[in-house]
């Protein structure tokens, strides 16, 4: 079985891969054996065209996408001895060799008949995965030589790439003109409140996640700890990883030691906690933030002392 997910310079979209899953189920139910060809750029450990002996196959199925262009035409030449069927595809030009080279075309659109349901719609149900917001900063140059932001971001993003989760890169910076960014705090909070977890090295990534009742796996990107560590302590939030735990472990692991496992183990331990007990703890802390607005002895912050400080400063200035 092939598709645009098979070509070296093609692309593997979620829809195409789900369409493939639908066809796989049909073939399995029919007791038909098959192999799937993957692009080496998408699945390096899969079967690639370079590994395939066309003589070993009697049938070729092309799944989803447009049947158009030189790459599809090359399939007809290379697998000329095979029965070739396209399924769930778009027909752009019915007279093109890419289309006429198939013995049968089960089109979803463009073939003259009414459009058919895309194969992805009836693909097998998928397992639930956590939705994770990622809030990172590459700034904060005021910390000078204590900055470990780039190293921390490199370890975090490499680790996140291997997690089975839906990752959503977020930015706390607001912009009323850039459609990719939130324009108000309410818009950002609306996104955060729908997440399962936030991974962040920003103070406000931590605070805004907890304010929304969402657990945060926080990393302080400043060696020795700075405002992220201080804020986690102020919030009573335990899921905090020091920069040194990641950067030192990463360096030792790259030198052939076992510390890289320790760094990943630390992240995985807090990941698991955040998605389990951390949910209730984040909800409790977030509720405490909001309750403090109406409860005199709630969670304090610096603004509680502002009026008194203004009065005292004014009196001191008048008495000079």
Q: What is the pLDDT of residue 256?
A: 52
Q: Please give the structure tokens belonging to residue 202.
A: 């920003």
The rounded distance, in Å, linking the Cα atoms of 202 and 164 is 23
Q: How far apart are CA 312 and CA 127, in angstroms?
A: 60
pLDDT tens for each residue of 154-206: 999 999 999 999 999 999 999 999 999 999 999 999 999 999 999 999 999 99
Q: State the average pLDDT for the chain.
A: 91
35 pLDDT more than 70: yes
Percentage of the chain lying above the pLDDT 90 cut: 78
Contact 16, 6 (CB under 8 A): no
User: What does the block give as tokens for 187?
Assistant: 């818009």
pLDDT greater than 80 at residue 222:
yes
Phi, psi dihedrals of residue 101, rounded to the nearest 5°:
-70, -15
The residue ranges of DSSP E strands in the chain, in sequence order, are: 59-63, 83-90, 104-109, 131-135, 166-169, 197-200, 216-220, 240-242
The pLDDT assigned to 38 comes to 97
Q: Which is higher by pLDDT, 262 or 16?
A: 16
User: Which of 28-37, 95-104, 258-267 is predicted least confidently?
Assistant: 258-267
Quote the CA–CA distance of 206 and 134 in Å, as a whole number: 11
Buried/exposed code over 98-133 (b: 16+ C-beta within 10 A; e: otherwise): bbebbeebebbbbbeeeeeebbbeebeeeeeeeebb
Three-state SS for 9?
coil
pLDDT at 253 over 70: no
Say how far apart CA 197 and CA 213 lie, in whole Å.
10
- The structure tokens 């599809």 sit at 72
Q: How confident is the model at residue 147 (pLDDT cuts 50, 70, 90)?
A: confident
Tell me the average pLDDT across 11-21. 94
| Joined tokens for residue 170 | 């977020």
Who's near 69: CB < 8 A, 6+ residues apart? 98
Instruction: Tell me which residue of 42, 30, 32 sits closest to 5, measured CA to CA.
Output: 42
pLDDT class for 111, splitting at 50, 70, 90?
A: confident
Among 88, 69, 77, 64, smallest CA distance to 5 is for: 64
Query: Which DSSP state fits 128?
Result: P
pLDDT of residue 19: 98
Q: Which residues contact 248 (CB under 8 A, 6 or more apart)?
A: 259
Q: Is pLDDT of 104 > 80?
A: yes
- pLDDT of the residue at 61: 98
Global pTM?
Answer: 0.85
CA torsion through residues 36, 41, 42, 43, sign:
positive
Q: Locate all alpha helices (DSSP H) within 52-179, ordered by sequence.
A: 70-78, 97-100, 149-161
Average pLDDT over residues 35-56: 94
| Per-residue model confidence as pLDDT tens digits over 235-252 | 999 999 999 988 875 555
The token duo for 272 is 């698991």
Given a cut of 90, whether residue 148 has pLDDT beyond it is no
Report the b/e string of 291-302 with b at 16+ CB within 10 A.
eeeeeeeebeee
The pLDDT of 258-274, averaged and rounded, is: 83
How does residue 13 score in pLDDT terms, banded at 50, 70 and 90?
very high
How many whole angstroms separate alpha carbon 91 and alpha carbon 141?
Answer: 54
Are 113 and 107 a contacting pair, CB within 8 Å? yes
- Confidence check: pLDDT of 296 > 90: no
Among 75, 4, 78, which residue's Cα sits nearest to residue 38? Answer: 4
Q: Is residue 297 predicted with pLDDT exceeding 80?
A: no
Distance in angstroms (rounded) separating the CA atoms of residues 273 and 266: 11
């Amino acid at each position: 079985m092939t598709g645009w997910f098979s070509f070296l310079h093609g692309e593997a979209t979620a829809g195409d891969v789900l369409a493939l899953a639908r066809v796989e189920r049909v073939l399995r139910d029919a007791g038909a054996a098959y192999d799937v060809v993957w692009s080496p750029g998408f699945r390096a450990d899969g079967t690639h065209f370079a590994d395939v002996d066309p003589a070993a196959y009697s049938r070729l199925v092309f799944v989803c996408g447009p049947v158009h262009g030189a790459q599809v035409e090359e399939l007809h030449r290379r697998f000329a001895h095979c029965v070739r069927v396209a399924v769930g595809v778009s027909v752009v030009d019915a007279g093109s060799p890419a289309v006429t080279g198939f013995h049968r075309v089960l089109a979803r659109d463009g073939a003259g008949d009414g459009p058919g349901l895309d194969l992805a719609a009836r693909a097998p149900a998928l397992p639930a995965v956590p939705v994770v917001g990622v809030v990172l900063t590459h700034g904060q140059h005021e910390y000078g030589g204590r900055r470990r932001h780039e190293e921390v971001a490199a370890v975090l993003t490499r680790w996140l790439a291997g997690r089975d989760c839906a990752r959503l890169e977020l930015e706390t910076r607001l912009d009323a003109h850039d459609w990719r960014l939130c324009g108000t705090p309410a818009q950002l909070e609306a996104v955060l409140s729908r997440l399962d977890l936030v991974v962040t090295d920003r103070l406000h990534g931590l605070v805004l996640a907890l304010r929304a009742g969402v657990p945060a796996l926080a990393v302080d990107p400043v060696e020795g700890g700075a405002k992220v560590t201080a804020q986690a302590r102020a919030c009573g939030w335990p899921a905090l990883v020091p920069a040194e735990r990641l950067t030192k472990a990463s360096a030792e692991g790259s030198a052939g030691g076992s510390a890289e496992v320790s760094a990943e183990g630390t992240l995985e331990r807090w990941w698991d906690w955040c998605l389990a007990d951390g949910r209730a703890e984040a909800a409790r802390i977030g509720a405490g933030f909001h309750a403090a607005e109406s409860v005199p002895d709630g969670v304090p912050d610096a603004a509680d002392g502002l009026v008194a400080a203004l009065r005292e400063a004014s009196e001191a200035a008048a008495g000079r």
